[in-house]
Amino acid sequence: MKKLTALSAVAFGLLCSRASAEGSLAFVYLEEKVAVYESRLQECLLMGRNANLPSEAVLTALKAYPQKDAERFLLVRATLAEEKCSSTEQGELAAALLVIEAGESPVPEDAATLVEQIKPAAFPSTRWALRRHYFSLPAEMRVHLEGFEVFQRPFNSLLIREYLFD
């Protein structure tokens, strides 16, 4: 959710800056990539928010693990599923950033500013910490629960947690 908020702020900045000037080609190219990525990320978040409770088999499998581990799995896996859902668009954004940074020398000022705004929003430093947290869960548990299709796409981790543990 923080990523979407940060990207929305960047998108708002883009709209405001567009009103003042058309911008360089690099800026317009990045602007388009940000818009596509933000749109897909919103779709993925909405998919997760609107997902139904999974099958009884999935709920039973989750109950077989300690509550703390199951909750950690649900929270982290939900975030990873959202990332996976928008990974194509995020990859295209990353490639666009690299092309711009490696291309023109110097990068046009408007594009350079946009690059500096996009990087922390689209590629937060917490990504590796999240994966480390996920890999600290018991391997057998991860493998077992990842086998359920529901955890391969955005899902509503809060709904599941409320159902199981409240």
In this prediction, what percent of the chain has a pLDDT beyond 70? 87
Asked if pLDDT for residue 12 goes beyond 70, the answer is no
| More confident site: 1 or 102 | 102
Q: What tens digit of pLDDT does each residue of 53-73 get?
A: 999 999 999 999 999 999 999
Neighbours of 55 (CB within 10 A): 12
Those residues with Cβ within 8 angstroms of residue 59's Cβ, 6 or more apart along the chain or in another chain: 53, 160, 163, 164
pLDDT band at 3 (very low <50, low <70, confident <90, very high): low
Q: Averaged over 18-31, what is the pLDDT? A: 78
Asked if pLDDT for residue 116 goes beyond 80, the answer is yes
